[in-house]
Amino acid sequence: MTHLTEDAHGVYVIAVTPFLPDGGLDLESTDRMVDFYLETGATGLTVLGMMGEAPKLTIEESRIVVRRILARVAGRVPVVVGVSAPGLAQIQALSTAVMDDGAAGVMIAPPGNLHTDDQIVSYYHQAAHFIGDTPFVLQDFPLATGVHMSVPVIKRIIEDLPGCVCLKHEDWPGLEKISALRAEGAVSRRISVLCGNGGLFLPEEMARGADGAMTGFGYPEMMVDVVRHHRAGTPDRGQDIFDAYLPLARYELQPGAGLAVRKYVLAKRGVIAHATLRRPGAAITDAARAEVDRLIERQEKRLKEIG
Amino acid sequence: MTHLTEDAHGVYVIAVTPFLPDGGLDLESTDRMVDFYLETGATGLTVLGMMGEAPKLTIEESRIVVRRILARVAGRVPVVVGVSAPGLAQIQALSTAVMDDGAAGVMIAPPGNLHTDDQIVSYYHQAAHFIGDTPFVLQDFPLATGVHMSVPVIKRIIEDLPGCVCLKHEDWPGLEKISALRAEGAVSRRISVLCGNGGLFLPEEMARGADGAMTGFGYPEMMVDVVRHHRAGTPDRGQDIFDAYLPLARYELQPGAGLAVRKYVLAKRGVIAHATLRRPGAAITDAARAEVDRLIERQEKRLKEIG
Amino acid sequence: MTHLTEDAHGVYVIAVTPFLPDGGLDLESTDRMVDFYLETGATGLTVLGMMGEAPKLTIEESRIVVRRILARVAGRVPVVVGVSAPGLAQIQALSTAVMDDGAAGVMIAPPGNLHTDDQIVSYYHQAAHFIGDTPFVLQDFPLATGVHMSVPVIKRIIEDLPGCVCLKHEDWPGLEKISALRAEGAVSRRISVLCGNGGLFLPEEMARGADGAMTGFGYPEMMVDVVRHHRAGTPDRGQDIFDAYLPLARYELQPGAGLAVRKYVLAKRGVIAHATLRRPGAAITDAARAEVDRLIERQEKRLKEIG
Amino acid sequence: MTHLTEDAHGVYVIAVTPFLPDGGLDLESTDRMVDFYLETGATGLTVLGMMGEAPKLTIEESRIVVRRILARVAGRVPVVVGVSAPGLAQIQALSTAVMDDGAAGVMIAPPGNLHTDDQIVSYYHQAAHFIGDTPFVLQDFPLATGVHMSVPVIKRIIEDLPGCVCLKHEDWPGLEKISALRAEGAVSRRISVLCGNGGLFLPEEMARGADGAMTGFGYPEMMVDVVRHHRAGTPDRGQDIFDAYLPLARYELQPGAGLAVRKYVLAKRGVIAHATLRRPGAAITDAARAEVDRLIERQEKRLKEIG
């Protein structure tokens, strides 16, 4: 398997974990989901992300899901696997296992007890030592991790650690951070910047110098289109499409509740068989379902209008 | 001055604080801003909100701003004044002062050291004791305060404290909370629910039983229209208008950075003379300004399309 | 193996995880540590606690450590195993595994995303459903978890869930909480209350109605003596001993740094072979080592004085 | 009035705010408290500290308290006044006012929304600009502020801002931080380091290079003695005294509850007339009062033993 590199671009969809109504793994839906993401134009997949439901899996289940996805992808696109854990020994063990299974790289979020610039840089030095030459994605998501990485911190990690090939950019607000990293001479090595937050700022992020998205949304084709039109020099067309999906994207970005919405949308679209969330995790209510249905109806109408 | 009541509805715009380029108070812009908000259809104003720049004012300046706004409003709409403070003596002093000046009610956010249900309820009991019969708005904004109010907590406050006439609903996600409060028999007394978060969920919030919005946005007319169309039984028309403004509303909701955007928009529209933020507070960058300009241009085009 | 019950009392020492200088498991030291704790008077052991270094172990290593300790304990005292995890499926899997291995019960800390009273109670309902009839320790440690459990919440958990046989009390300050739980008629079922925080409030906690301690300290004999003298009706003698150890206990309670101190003390006492902390985790500095040596010297002198 | 300088040393007692039983200011007790602190050996006073009850005062009351204390001190020792506030305009106004009244300097804690190294340094640059040549104490108290200042950050502030003459050191654990700041060549200018946390680590802090304490305790003479014996080259004697007070000091350091204990002790000693806390703030319970009484009795006995 080829490794993840600084050239990563496009849309790395953060995969959901499909469950059966009783909470068991739904591996058939997992296959169908992989097919769907790739047909939609995903240039990569990211599994076992920090949010989502990966933390609800047992270690054995995590391995099963990763292997199933890797087998179905069959090398067509790179697969990044989240390996964040409280200890470096665990990160090392997980990283070795998934790279052996065929992953293209790993993603590491900072543990919540890191505060100062030096503490953050030092942690990634240690992590990089433990995972050896495995390429890794630096996850910058303060709202979820509580860890705030300044631009100088990210620069130091890029300069010091060649394994850091990609930044999953999910600070909010974070546009100025992209501009600072992309400024002339900011860093001696250009790494990939893929953005999160459900794509809610993707048009501006692309214009600031991002290479694409690494996040989830019930309609990943929106992100694929925004990235494609940006690269094709037709960003306004991309924004028209973005605007059409925005009412739903906004609705799906509600913290916590959003995952139930995303699974409901994927189930409604026939991608996964059940919208089930594993416990603890609240199901979508009737009222929310009706709101989503209405937003989708309006979205389809608007998409037709803009052709 | 009439007091705020459970019937509060429509759009209570959270006023910005206009400054001169040197950081001094810009009272002429303050007058113009009041006129603008009222012409736009605001049914009330809220000043000295917890976010915004009110905490950057000295006590003397706060009094000057409140009096100027009250004088300009001249009783045309109710004015709510934020009086959150670390101590109840301060809340009492501020509350007495602004009610004497002609405010219609006060708004109280919970201090960040409250954690359990009982602690929160007990705090509001004490606060209500200190402000006497002044009507107050209960501010539920966990992302900013760190305090999470469950539906049972809000119910207990409503049942116990007749002075609580309005909930500023700003939980995120918070739609189910509105539904729970509006459920048949949930509370023995219906209070006003006005929503925050820049209006980003206003169509759904109105459908769930909210009475309007209490928040800020560079184009408050969007919120006025959404509320009006909801009440007129034409919510889809309201949503069309909402959708047209959504790309900018989303951009303006970026925590921290959003206030600079809002002031830039208000200055661009000629409402206030300067987009200045008082320090500490970052100015809008050139790149952000260009992004806002582009979003406004697209917004105007879209508004024309939908008539 | 007998199960943990509401009668749990005395000192359940939270075991450290001994490592070799290269970071590997030091199982011989683990055996010696078990012997030491039991000889010192421990009435139980708790392993894989939330703090400490258990989170730094891989799943396989965790199983090895738990089995080694259970084998060495050989049923002489009950062993509680921490099974806190982000997902209930993991908790179920861990719980089943360690109970099969011979643990007496499990300990569950609340995940940090729980805020309101109902959220906390609901989480324990779900967890109890997943672990079946396994007795569990409710861990109340707000400084580490960020979750604040009120007395009403603890009462509801006790009343609703028969599997909850023990409270690991580690709120700070927390004395009034013990008094409230022990008040006449507070709960219909008396559960065990074992206290944390390195025993720093143990004399007062015993007087308020606690049954002992569940925490770590380089000299667990201090806690054994305090509990013993309290039960023997000679609390002042217990406090004399407590006071002699207090300067070191205070030093060891420094968050983060304390674990390195505890391991240094245990190594100095010959209990474990190496003071090594697994990474990430800072080693004790020369200055700190000298401070600890001095405190131990003074402590020994003082213990001789009081006989 | 002479200004606070880098030579500040000894014990700057953080003054409590005495209240009458009805919550009004007790200015007579305030006078008596000042006398007591000075007779006890305080080399300075700090008023309107961030913790304590200063935030519960109205602006007018704060001015009254500060002026009363300054009048009673009458220039005998330097008085530092806490001026932390959300906005720099407020800090400027407060700082100017208290310096005009005769304060020796001000103390500034970082607002909780600062995260990265650069954000913290930049904030102090701005604050220093606003207060002009007023000497200030840098307050480093992460447990209360949520802001973590690394050694490089403190160094940058010292190097950049000549007004920073003193560090109120209250990190926990924080001993290594003192050592790092006192290391040969660490900074080009030696500032005063006064320690907090109720003096609970004062012997070690002095040995690491601190100049004294800036914190509160019902028996400030303990801190005076520890500092004096350290400077006299008799630290073991200082530690004997420290150890005698430690059981109570530990009890008084309970977050939140500790202030009620301190006021109870001061009232019991006849320093202030009433132990009243202004609301919101819990009174000491009967059980806690009995525990404190017992600790004081034992403390007096032990102090007699050691002569």
Record: contact D116-A150, CB cut-off 8 A:
yes
**Cβ neighbourhood burial of D60 (10 Å; 0-12, 13-18, 19+):** exposed
Element (H, E) at A104: none
Distance CA B189, CA B155 (A): 9
Nearest CA to C16 out of C64, C58, C69, C59 is that of: C69
Count interface pairs A-B at CB distance under 8 A: 71
Place of tokens 């806190």: C84
A269 phi and psi, to 5 degrees?
A: -80, 0
Are A247 and A226 a contacting pair, CB within 8 Å? no
Neighbours of D, requiring at least 3 CB pairs below 8 Å, are A, B, C
Q: A93–C58: do the CB atoms touch at under 8 Å?
A: yes
Task: Identify all chain A residues contacting D148, using CB atoms and an 8 Å cutoff.
Answer: 115-116
Which residues of chain B make contact with D146, given a CB cutoff of 8 A? none
Q: Smallest Cα–Cα separation from D102: which of D124, D69, D127? A: D69
Q: Minimal Cα–Cα distance from D134 to chain B, Å?
A: 19
A44's enclosing H/E stretch is strand A44-47
Contact D278 B89 (CB under 8 A): yes
CB contact under 8 A, C85 and A55: yes
- How close, in Å, is residue B289 to chain D by CA atoms? 23
| Pair type for strands B212-215 and A10-14 | unpaired
Q: Among D42, B75, D246, which residue's Cα sits nearest to residue C243?
A: D246
Read off the tokens for D162: 């000549």
CB C108 within 8 A of CB C127: yes
Q: What is the mean pLDDT of residues C124-140?
A: 97
Shortest distance between the Cα of C111 and any Cα of chain D, in A, equals 20
Give ipTM to 2 decimals.
0.96
Q: Which residues contact A290 (CB under 8 A, 6 or more apart)?
A: none
| Per-residue b or e along B212-227, where b marks 16 or more CB atoms closer than 10 Å to that residue's CB | bbbbbbbbbbbbbbbb
The per-residue DSSP string of C18-64 comes to -B-TTS-B-HHHHHHHHHHHHHHT-SEEEES-SSTTGGGS-HHHHHH
- Structure confidence at residue B78 (pLDDT): 98
Which of B115, B119, B150 lies closest to C118 in CB terms? B150
Spatial contact of A303 and A244, defined as CB atoms under 8 Å apart: yes
Model confidence pLDDT, tens digit, residues C171-228: 988 999 999 999 999 999 999 999 999 999 999 999 999 999 999 999 999 999 999 9
Q: How far is A172 from chain C (nearest CA, A)?
A: 20
In tens, the pLDDT along C268-294 reads 999 999 999 998 888 899 999 999 999
Alpha carbon of C190: minimum distance to chain A alpha carbons (Å): 29
Token code pair at residue A38:
């790739």
pLDDT tens sequence across B99-158? 999 999 999 999 999 999 999 999 999 999 999 999 999 999 999 999 999 999 999 999
Closest CA to B201 of B215, B190, B181: B215
- The Cα angle at residue C230 between residues C229 and C231, in degrees rounded to 5: 90
Residues in chain D with CB shorter than 8 Å from the CB of A123 are none
* Residues in chain C closer than 8 A to B118 (CB atoms): 150, 152
Across the interface, whether the CB atoms of C87 and A126 are under 8 A apart is answered no
Please, is D185 exposed, middle or buried when counting C-beta atoms within 10 Å of its C-beta (0-12, 13-18, 19+)? exposed
Contact between chains at B58 and D23 (C-beta distance less than 8 A)? no
CA A273/CA A293 separation, integer angstroms: 17
Q: How many residues does chain C have?
A: 307
- Judged on CB neighbours under 10 Å (0-12, 13-18, 19+), A90 is buried
Per-residue pLDDT tens over the stretch A216-264:
999 999 999 999 999 999 999 999 999 999 999 999 999 878 999 999 9
Convert the pLDDT of each residue in A144-162 to its tens digit: 999 999 999 999 999 999 9
Q: Judge: C58–A126 Cβ closer than 8 Å, yes or no.
A: no
pLDDT at C51: 65
Does the pLDDT of residue B1 top 70, yes or no?
Answer: no
Share of chain B above pLDDT 90, in %: 89
With 70 as the cut, is the pLDDT of residue B292 above it?
Answer: yes
CA distance, residue B266 to nearest chain D CA (Å): 23
Question: Which among A174, B135, C203, B87 has a CA at the least distance from the CA of D292?
Answer: C203
Nearest residue to D55 via CA among D93, D17, D28? D17
Best mutation target among A25, A59, A147 (most C Cβ atoms within 10 Å) is: A59
Q: Which residue has the tokens 């058939």?
A: A28
Please report residues of D whose CB lies closer than 8 A to that of C242: 247
Q: How many CB atoms lie within 10 A of CB A6?
A: 17
Is residue B33 annotated as involved in ligand binding? no
Q: What is the CA radius of gyration of chain B?
A: 18
The token pair at C178 is 């013990």
Q: What is the pLDDT of residues D23-40, one digit of tens each?
A: 999 999 999 999 999 999
Distance from CA of B77 to the nearest CA of C (A): 36
Q: What are the b/e assignments for B228-237, b being 16+ CB within 10 Å?
A: bbbeeeebeb
Contacts of D236 in chain C (CB under 8 A): 298
First to last CA, chain C: 39
On average, the pLDDT of chain D sits at 95
Q: Do D250 and C288 touch (CB under 8 A)?
A: no
Cβ distance of C86 and A123 shorter than 8 Å: no
pLDDT digits (tens, 9 = 90+) for D82-135: 999 878 998 999 999 999 999 999 999 999 989 999 999 999 999 999 999 999
Read off the pLDDT band of B85 (50, 70, 90).
confident
Check CB contact under 8 Å for D118 and A150: yes
For residue C87, give the nearest of A56, A93, A126 by CB distance. Answer: A56
Q: What are phi and psi of C226, to 5 degrees?
A: -60, -45
Q: What is the DSSP string of D38-59?
A: HHHT-SEEEES-SSTTGGGS-H
pTM of the model: 0.95
Query: Token pair for residue B42?
Result: 């605001």
Say which residue the tokens 């459900």 belong to. A198
For residues B176 and B201, the answer to whether their CB atoms sit within 8 Å is no
The chain A residues in contact with chain B (CB within 8 A) are 172-173, 175-176, 179, 200-201, 204, 207-208, 236, 239, 242-243, 246-247, 250-251, 254-258, 285, 287-288, 291, 298, 302
The rounded distance, in Å, linking the Cα atoms of D151 and D139 is 13
Per the CB < 8 A criterion, the answer to whether A254 and A248 are in contact is no
Residue B298's alpha-carbon distances to A237, A278, B222, B305, D18, in angstroms, are 12, 42, 15, 11, 61
Contact call for D116 and A142, based on CB within 8 A? no
DSSP 8-state symbol, A47: E
> Is B149 in Cβ contact with C116 (below 8 Å)?
yes
Rounded Cα distance between D289 and D240, Å, is 26
pLDDT score at D51: 65
Residue C132's pLDDT band, with cuts at 50, 70 and 90, is: very high
For D118, the closest of A115, A119, A152 (CB atoms) is A152
State whether A58 and C89 contact (CB < 8 Å): yes
Contact A56 C90 (CB under 8 A): yes
For residue C228, the surrounding DSSP H or E stretch is helix C220-231
Taking CB atoms and an 8 Å limit, are D291 and C258 in contact across chains? no
Give the H/E segment covering residue A207: helix A202-208
| Contact residues, chain C, for B114 at CB < 8 Å | none
What is the structure's pLDDT at B233? 98
Q: Average pLDDT of C83-103?
A: 93
Of A172-181, C83-92, D75-84, D207-216, which range is least confident?
Answer: C83-92
Cβ-based neighbour number of residue A227 at 10 Å: 27
Which DSSP state fits B214?
A: E
Burial class of residue A101, CB neighbours in 10 A (0-12, 13-18, 19+) = middle
Structure tokens at B124: 């509001």
C176/D258 CB distance under 8 A: no
Interface of D with C (CB under 8 A): 172-173, 175-176, 179, 200-201, 204, 207-208, 236, 239, 242-243, 246-247, 250-251, 254-258, 285, 287-288, 291, 298, 302
Which amino acid is located at B240 in the chain? D
Q: Which chains share 3+ C-beta pairs under 8 angstroms with A?
A: B, C, D
CA distance D107 to chain C (A): 26
Q: Where are the beta strands (DSSP E) in chain C?
A: 10-14, 44-47, 79-82, 105-108, 136-140, 164-169, 192-195, 212-215
pLDDT grade for D257, boundaries at 50, 70 and 90: confident
> Is there a contact between A152 and D115 if contact means CB atoms under 8 Å apart?
no
Question: How do residues A40-89 score in pLDDT, each as one tens digit?
Answer: 999 999 999 876 788 889 989 999 999 999 999 999 999 999 999 878 98
Report the distance separating Cα B67 and Cα B101, nearest Å.
7
CATH topology for A10-233 is TIM Barrel (3.20.20)
- Which two three-digit tokens encode residue D8? 């500040």
Which among D173, D208, D287 has the least Cβ separation from residue C254? Answer: D173
Residues annotated in a binding site of C for pyruvate:
214
Of C175, C246, C287, the CB nearest to D208: C287
Q: What is the 3-state secondary structure (H, E, C) of B122-143?
A: HHHHHHHHHHCCCCEEEEECHH
| Closest C-alpha among D255, D272, D281 to residue D17 | D272
Residue type, A99: M
Cα distance from C91 to chain B (closest Cα, Å)? 25
Nearest to A58 among C53, C61, C93 (CB): C93
Check residues D143 and B43 and name the one with the higher pLDDT.
Answer: B43
**Helix (H/G/I), strand (E/B), else coil: C195:** strand
